[in-house]
Chain A
């Protein structure tokens, strides 16, 4: 890999709660567990952390200022330098990465959390759409993902068997992931024999509904080397958005993912492993093409969002799983890509390129 610069930032600790359909713990409790474990993993004293940033969504919790309670988990006393994004925790990591460039602090804590069990996605997500033109028609995420999948089929870019193969591989990979919610060997023909939920999508093409939280500790290169003998360096991170209206986008491609990957420096070399926030199976095919990923890159070794999808932590977990792939399991991977998404049908995309020495 390229020489480590002083301004490089590394991931030095991480943790996540297991994704479950309905957690008995409150969101602050889930955050607390993830934060405690991540701080312990980093081997850092929580009080020396220079900046904290979190990502969560009021609407998932069903009340305004829901993130204020999560502050309890961050241990905000004495007062801390802290911020919050109404986006996936991967964007909170982006803000912390920006903040660490200034050179006046050397570590940061990031967390993301969401309890989707509190609401029904089909009722909730229409509220995320343009309130004047789209929300009133109640367009739900599965219907939108089905439109995208249909466009992919009609363009001749994929078949329903391709979708099922993504599902089968994801569940097989999740067999080794204790935090996954769905796992196991499945027969592709049996998957294809199932009924549609919303054609051309079958139930297994949809993500599970999950509760969960994740946390990451970042440090500057100097501090990272003191904390661990294997820092995971962030070599680039960028995010880009596309128009909101589905009709304004090419749904079978992801121009913003391609652009974010260019800006994040993916051109330096193919990643050995990629963790993609493909929350519906067809989206993995779109993302692989957008990122130029071929058979040499292992996709979603964790099982990905089709096996665990705690919204607002899902993207941050991709970064964690990419870091795990680089440091655990003895695969000798050198470069990993993590992708996070926001909005419907891949409207907003973040790409993070990670490397180990």
Chain B
């Protein structure tokens, strides 16, 4: 039997277009120190560090964990570097959870970051060549296929874009703070990759996220002062980038990954048993696509949840109360932020964007050509759902 894992400390940086006030080391330390403070621990208490980020080409440093080892207080400790495309922040956290669950370590720091202002992400995504189509160019055909398949009206994407930016106004760490966001503004913003408008796209951000993980005894000891989030389930899945007959709108890896975490957590009806979800939505349409892609909504029904306002903070199934990737996108950290924000919800520590009574939360990250998935379910109690 695996050892239960508790999240006892969570920290993130202020995300911004350029955090020119800090180096990469300063950025990861800002998040890590906040996570340690939240846990009431110091660097000395940490036994191992797991670090993740998206391609090294984004900052132009090969294997930056080597030079960041000093800043992360890791001398004489294990530093482990994960890279699984856009899902990396999620899978980095999961690798750290495995170190607790296998009883190899008792206190692990997981950290993920991206400092996009150090380089040019579009150039990086294009493999260092010109003429790249960007992530939006890669995903737009999948979005169009979803719209055609589901018959969703075009304003659904605009609604998600507005909702997530309004949520971000309640999140002090969010990069974009668009107080005057409106359906009209989104609709009138430039078309980048049909049907994705400028304001339906994620920003490029500098930012980092960190979490302190510990075992059952550590989680229970922390509970008196500061409630932990209990890890009820984790899973990762990968599939090939492309092949004839692949369903890129609802990738099988995403379906399998969701079913795996639901089974582990004892969830039989995700729509009613999950109180809040932080889903990786870099382009607005991915909200309904993942609601269907992870069997939260029936096929063709995801966009109706959005349309009825069910995914708003006050709705029956809040999605991305933090503002999500649409409001802050330090790519390598974006996946960990989804898990961290989900964990904050079940700890009751999400501040202004707290969902009332959240006890079970889903965190999800995806990457590559919508082919890498990392998912986790957290609970306010260490007990299976249902």
Interface of A toward B, CB cutoff 8 Å: 57-59, 62-65, 67-69, 71-72, 76-87, 91, 94-95, 98-99, 101-104, 124-125, 127-132, 134-135, 238-245, 248, 255-256, 259, 342-343, 347-348
Contact, CB under 8 Å: A64 / B125: yes
Chain B residues within an 8 Å CB radius of A125? 62
Chain A residues within an 8 Å CB radius of B76? 240-242, 255-256, 259
Contact, CB under 8 Å: B78 / A240: yes
Write the chain B residue with the least CB distance to A126.
B62
A262 to B86, CA, bound (A): 36
Chain B residues within an 8 Å CB radius of A68? 85, 241, 368-369, 371
Extra pairs beyond A84-B83, A244-B66 (11, CB < 8 Å): A64-B57, A68-B85, A76-B239, A77-B243, A79-B237, A81-B238, A83-B84, A98-B102, A240-B77, A242-B76, A348-B79
A58 to B61, CA, bound (A): 11
Chain A residues within an 8 Å CB radius of B252? 78-79
Chain A residues within an 8 Å CB radius of B78? 238-241
B53 to chain A, nearest CB (A): 9
A223 to B23, CA, bound (A): 48
Known: A102-B101, A342-B63. Contact between A58 and B55, CB under 8 A? Answer: yes
Interface stretch of the complex, out of B31-39, B91-99, B222-230, B346-354: B91-99
Interface of B toward A, CB cutoff 8 Å: 1-2, 23-24, 54-70, 74-85, 91, 95, 98-99, 101-104, 118, 124-125, 127-128, 235-241, 243, 251-253, 256-257, 368-369, 371
Contact, CB under 8 Å: A80 / B237: yes
Contact, CB under 8 Å: B63 / A95: no
Chain A residues within an 8 Å CB radius of B62? 57-59, 124-125, 127-128
A317 to chain B, nearest CB (A): 19
A85 to B65, CA, bound (A): 12
Known: A241-B74, A242-B75, A256-B76. Contact between A77 and B56, CB under 8 A? Answer: no
Known: A58-B55, A64-B125. Contact between A82 and B1, CB under 8 A? Answer: no
Interface pairs A-B: 3 shortest CB-CB = A64-B55, A101-B102, A79-B253
A245 to B66, CA, bound (A): 10
A56 to B57, CA, bound (A): 14
Chain B residues within an 8 Å CB radius of A94? 80
Chain B residues within an 8 Å CB radius of A130? 67
Q: Which of B24, B60, B80, B240 contacts A76 (CB 8 A)?
A: B240
Point out which of A95, A102, A242, A244 has the most chain B C-beta atoms below 10 A from its C-beta: A244
Chain B residues within an 8 Å CB radius of A104? 2
Known: A98-B102, A239-B78, A343-B66. Contact between A80 and B238, CB under 8 A? Answer: yes
Contact, CB under 8 Å: B23 / A132: yes
Known: A102-B2, A103-B1, A342-B66. Contact between A64 and B58, CB under 8 A? Answer: yes
Chain B residues within an 8 Å CB radius of A83? 82, 84, 91, 95, 236
Contact, CB under 8 Å: A85 / B239: no
